[in-house]
């Protein structure tokens, strides 16, 4: 386990993704950091391509189109897998769309797509739509993501926020009421509270509201939403009293512009990093990412080959695009789940679920 974690950190550094203590030191020493990063990057690219595991090709010509759509968070993972898959099976086309977890399921459940990327488990209402259209699905986790709470670097007071304080900031009752940092905690200065967050159609928003407010999709309305995480980065970086949240990968690429706020989920302040997300100590804001495969599509040999390739390489590629790989045995369990066509959601339609142990759920 320790060895696995170290590999994540190294890979994360190489891809320009930081987040751990070691990475923080690198960021602090200025110029030399750039040099190290570039050297690491070149090495990493070759190392990663070398690590790709090929899968046995079934008999017969392999052609066809496998259509994937959904979450903008999971999209890059599926794209990375599709890109590597293409080098082994150039005749199989795997286009990937990005429309958000919710919009992805809408298309998936009427049979328009073969694979749905999702940054939260499928909801009961979506399962119903799938069933009424005769679409059964297999749900498999592909990576972990941490949600980062960010503030402007000029903010020198909010180093760590408790879940209760985050709830006070974001719950629906805070609208037009909690407008100053002084209201969040005694001792914070009386500065206006400016908020940024992902759009309400994103799984990221669903997960955050579920984990922090306690009810999925419930939050105050007076914050600036954007589906483009770079807009959130610009917004928080441009206003000294702003705060907001988004996926850890975006913080990693912008850590010179933003301050990472540690989160106290009850057991003390924890900073999100590859390690704390993987070990589950960064709670409640680390979440699994999923793909859903439609059972009718899973009958096709090219889809079976693609999923096998996906789950054998997701560990390498998830880290490469900025997420945290699952432990190897989870990928084995997930592949077994797919091969046995275990349908339905392990979350039973309850939507975003906080602090899950995938191993317990899958086995």
Instruction: Please report, as ranges, the residues that interact with other proteins according to CB under 8 A.
Output: 15-16, 45, 65, 67, 69, 72, 75-76, 78-80, 82-83, 86, 93-99, 107, 112, 227-230, 233, 249-250, 252-254, 320-322
Q: Which is nearer to other proteins, 82 or 271 (CB)?
A: 82
For residues 154 and 79, what is the distance between their CA atoms, to the nearest angstrom?
Answer: 36
Which value, in Å, is the radius of gyration of the alpha carbons in the chain?
Answer: 20
* Nearest-10 Cα torsion for 175, 179, 181, 183: -70
Min dist. Cβ of residue 361 to other proteins (A): 29
Query: Residues near 205 by Cβ (< 8 Å), separated by ≥ 6?
Result: 197, 198, 199, 217, 219, 225
**How many C-beta atoms surround the C-beta of residue 37 within 10 A?**
17
Min dist. Cβ of residue 23 to other proteins (A): 15
Q: Which is nearer to other proteins, 71 or 345 (CB)?
A: 71
Q: Which is nearer to other proteins, 41 or 341 (CB)?
A: 41
Q: Which two tokens stand for residue 47?
A: 């190392």
Q: Which is nearer to other proteins, 171 or 229 (CB)?
A: 229
DSSP letter for each residue of 4-15:
HHHHHHHHHHHT
Min dist. Cβ of residue 176 to other proteins (A): 29
Q: Which two tokens stand for residue 118?
A: 């999702």
Residue 210 is given by DSSP the state: I
Q: Which is nearer to other proteins, 78 or 294 (CB)?
A: 78
């Amino acid at each position: 386990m320790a060895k696995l974690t170290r590999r994540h950190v190294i890979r994360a550094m190489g891809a320009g993704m930081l987040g751990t203590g070691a990475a923080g030191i690198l960021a602090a020493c200025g110029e030399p950091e750039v040099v190290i990063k570039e050297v690491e990057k070149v090495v990493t690219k070759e190392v990663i391509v070398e690590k790709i595991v090929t899968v046995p090709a079934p008999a017969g010509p392999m052609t066809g189109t496998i259509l994937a759509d959904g979450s903008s968070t999971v999209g890059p993972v599926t794209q990375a897998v599709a890109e590597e898959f293409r080098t082994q099976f150039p005749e199989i086309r795997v286009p990937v769309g990005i429309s958000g977890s919710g919009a992805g399921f809408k298309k998936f459940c009427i049979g328009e797509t073969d694979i749905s990327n999702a940054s939260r488990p499928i909801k009961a209402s979506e399962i119903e739509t799938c069933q009424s259209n005769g679409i059964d699905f297999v749900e498999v986790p592909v990576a972990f993501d941490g949600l980062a709470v960010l503030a402007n670097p000029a903010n020198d007071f909010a180093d760590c926020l408790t879940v209760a304080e985050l709830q006070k900031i974001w719950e629906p009752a805070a609208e037009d009421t909690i407008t100053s940092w002084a209201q969040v905690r005694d001792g914070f200065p009386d500065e206006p509270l400016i908020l940024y967050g992902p759009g309400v159609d994103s799984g990221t928003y669903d997960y955050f509201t579920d984990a922090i407010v306690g009810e999925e999709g419930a939050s105050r309305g007076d914050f600036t939403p954007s589906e483009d995480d770079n807009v959130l980065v610009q917004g928080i970086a441009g206003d000294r009293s702003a705060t907001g949240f988004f996926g850890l990968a975006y913080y990693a690429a912008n850590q010179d512009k933003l301050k990472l706020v540690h989160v106290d989920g009850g057991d003390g302040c924890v900073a999100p990093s590859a390690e704390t997300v993987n070990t589950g100590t960064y709670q409640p804001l680390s979440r699994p990412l999923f793909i859903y495969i439609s059972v009718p599509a899973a009958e096709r040999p090219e889809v079976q080959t693609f999923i096998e390739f996906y789950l054998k390489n997701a560990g390498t590629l998830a880290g490469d695009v900025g997420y945290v790989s699952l432990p190897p045995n989870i990928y084995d369990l997930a592949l077994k789940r797919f091969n046995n066509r275990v349908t339905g959601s392990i979350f039973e339609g309850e939507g975003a679920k906080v602090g899950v142990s995938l191993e317990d759920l899958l086995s």
